Structure 1
């Protein structure tokens, strides 16, 4: 039995909530470094303050994916309860963020915001696979990417628009400007309404209907646990040893204290794996930890290869999000003083730049990527997109003024569209439907881990070799996208 074919209006309703979610992400990405610096953070402290966000995603996404696969709340459905809960919490965080008057308060609200956005976002990825036939997956993720781009344009450019409309763009030292304050409030309302639209205009397929589609049998809940019980503890010891090695290097080489977090996470994963294996050997089949660790260990080969591509791709993106404000304000507007008008003007221009690459992404997702995909295939299309992004980052070194950076954003926008669409379109057509939520959640671990790596390691690298020269982070971003393109050559997409 085939799923019904969806028209373009229905496909748009399925992903419209992502428009609001991305407004929230765009406000976070373009303005949180500005907020932190306004509240007294130094440039060297930014990666540490940003680390809370990806750490939250690392913990939240697999859990929400696992739970949403097993949820059914009648008319509210499987994925939509998580859309709604995440939207309410994210709205609270966005409304509260501009009221923060201390770094700790802003960091805690960033943690709440990122956790809430992840609660909503992960089920949206699986929702496309749930609702659409396989021959519509590429269209579904292209539309989702277009909404992501459109939402990011709105969120990124809103402070600049408020400035042009006469809203105060500067404030006393330690006070968040009104342009940022009102933008966060607007974003909270827009996010909630967009997600509510998807909740009210879609109907999910019941578990019985999903089981009949394509003759898919219900999964054996004990299979994952049995496979986990057969594993040895050697891998657990290897993870823990790697974490201990990282901590030893930090102590020996005097690296930044943030790198301790990376070592701690590796040790924690090794211990969690050991606990999960022990529980599996005792016959415990209801363990959330066991299912997540077991599914992580049993990822399909295609997913493992795509995971490496994601790792390098998102490393570059996170480098950009953390450092672009500092780069543009210092190199093109001549100021690193957060209380100066020049710094605030540079920060607003970063919002325009982010809006530009997201606008390019929205257009590319619906035009360029499908055209390329039909002619050269999904894998080669993604390689081309990643190379465009590498060129965009490298061009920051040669652009003569801030206006020319709009040209750089064209290449970055094409890469962004491809990163958001191509890997998910490949995966959704290749993964078992009954585990789509957990696998999408685990796949996003490889979005989060590079963010943690950048947030903990990049500060040490920059302080040691390029102190107060944030422009060099763009060289690292370009290099990691080249590595992602090389890794993508090993991904062979099914017909």
Structure 2
């Protein structure tokens, strides 16, 4: 057990208190990152199903995303700790590189003509988003004094909520403006293509706002936190840091495991689960129709149109979890700006609320009640994106903040790998291929995560008063 598990490391550099707009600008790039994640999470399964994927194969098609994160995040964190450019700083070069690659993937993803192509673009997209995202968490710890970190992470969550809400409704919104939501078998509708193109523009533009408006501290200003020297090979050092991670990180990581297992299950299975169980409009399989017979072609087109419309509405309802997370983050930001948060208590209550939200989806036959379900899910989402990082930040050496944030994110990607490999067979073999049980698994998983918070202690830096 490292010493960092007992006391918060010395911060070295005296970090001045930042204004709302300074923190807003340094976090604004998360708007684009969340556009990418929301479009990926809300519509990749729809794209896969449009290209002919069976619903029990969907989680496995997603596996490239968490596998990429498992490799990319610790490496990017390690490298960003050791990067310094006089103009672009320490973290910002990674923001920009990731944004350019992500925008490319978003533009071309909906034009995939085969499952392997869509899965390949998902791999590129997720790797690129991780390049941008991981250093953002470290930037908050780099720039903010300890008493402002909860506020900084909550403000990031507010921006993430805005991005989730808007991006999740984009295909439905552009369809309302007359963009076609119908397409031939195996072709992604124009409404989805336009939504992904808008996401690409927003991603790059918002990252540029952060890059151009935010400065970083030079190594000479860090008083003992300068760019670490490379005495070890980076793989050996990453392995060393994993084996000697602070005990606080391990405890919070267990909570994160069940939290992200829940959300990966939602992202990969919400579209088949809700279109099937709530909207009664499952995705038709073209192989079951003789497309050269006019009557059967018409039946397929009607069923496919119903599925595409239902999938649009699933995206709209999923947007409510982004809207709810935005409201919760706004309330928490007002509170955290004036007094310290009890991060553990907030996180416990939020995970319980999200668990109830997921479980309730199995009992609703009226789609309108999904607003309530996803709002409860949004409460947990707001907390998952902020409270674990606030609990962790005071237990990590500042000079290794990027590397440890990357290692911590392994507790995000490992549960996704578990879900990607086990969720499909579980739904098929245990629950009779009824996809709605994926939402039940999500609810139970959040409840388990809430109970594991009993082993997490409140970080000292978060219980001190605001200065």
TM-score clears 0.5: yes
**Rounded Cα–Cα distance in structure 1 between residues aligned with 2:16 and 2:431:** 56
* 1:289 aligns to 2:254 (yes or no): no
Deviation sequence 1:362-401 (CA, Å, 0-9, x none): 1101205764996871111100000000000111122231
* 1:302 aligns to 2:248 (yes or no): yes
Deviation sequence 1:442-464 (CA, Å, 0-9, x none): 00000000000000011111111
Which range moved further: 360-369 or 162-171? 360-369
Instruction: Name the CA shift for 1:34/1:74 in 2 (closer, same or farther; >3 Å).
Output: same
What SS is found at the alignment partner of 1:75? coil
Q: In the alignment, which of 254, 259, 265 is matched to residue 319 of structure 1?
A: 265
What SS is found at the alignment partner of 2:455? coil
Q: Check conservation: 2:155, 2:333, Cα contact below 8 A.
A: no
Q: Which residue of 2 aligns with 1:364?
A: 328
**Pairwise mapping of residues 40-59 of structure 1 onto structure 2 (< 5 A)?**
40-59=52-71
Q: Which residue of 1 aligns with 2:106?
A: 94
After TM superposition, give the deviation of residue 335 of structure 1 in Å.
Answer: 2.1
* 1:392 aligns to 2:357 (yes or no): yes
After TM superposition, give the deviation of residue 2 of structure 1 in Å.
Answer: 1.7
Deviation sequence 1:348-369 (CA, Å, 0-9, x none): 1111112110011011012057
After TM superposition, give the deviation of residue 325 of structure 1 in Å.
Answer: 0.5
* 1:65 aligns to 2:72 (yes or no): no
**Pairwise mapping of residues 38-187 of structure 1 onto structure 2 (< 5 A)?**
38-187=50-199
**Rounded Cα–Cα distance in structure 1 between residues aligned with 2:20 and 2:439:** 38
Residue ranges of structure 1 left out of the alignment (5+ in a row) = 223-284
Q: Check conservation: 1:334, 1:342, Cα contact below 8 A.
A: no
Instruction: Name the CA shift for 1:198/1:375 in 2 (closer, same or farther; >3 Å).
Output: closer
After TM superposition, give the deviation of residue 429 of structure 1 in Å.
Answer: 2.5
* 1:28 aligns to 2:40 (yes or no): yes
Higher relative contact order (CA 8 A, sep 6+): 2
Q: Which residue of 2 aligns with 1:473?
A: 438
Structure (1/2) with the larger helix percentage? 1
Q: Check conservation: 1:150, 1:362, Cα contact below 8 A.
A: yes
* 1:343 aligns to 2:289 (yes or no): no
Q: Check conservation: 2:49, 2:283, Cα contact below 8 A.
A: no
**Rounded Cα–Cα distance in structure 2 between residues aligned with 1:350 and 1:27:** 12
Q: Which residue of 2 aligns with 1:489?
A: 454
Residue ranges of structure 2 left out of the alignment (5+ in a row) = 1-12, 285-300
What SS is found at the alignment partner of 1:167? coil
Normalised TM-score (structure 1):
0.84
Deviation sequence 1:279-301 (CA, Å, 0-9, x none): xxxxxx43111011000011001
What SS is found at the alignment partner of 2:386? helix
Q: Check conservation: 1:369, 1:418, Cα contact below 8 A.
A: no
Instruction: Name the CA shift for 1:380/1:292 in 2 (closer, same or farther; >3 Å).
Output: same
**Rounded Cα–Cα distance in structure 2 between residues aligned with 1:141 and 1:487:** 22
Corresponding pairs, count: 429
**Rounded Cα–Cα distance in structure 2 between residues aligned with 1:185 and 1:426:** 36
Q: Which residue of 1 aligns with 2:274?
A: 328
**Rounded Cα–Cα distance in structure 1 between residues aligned with 2:340 and 2:181:** 47
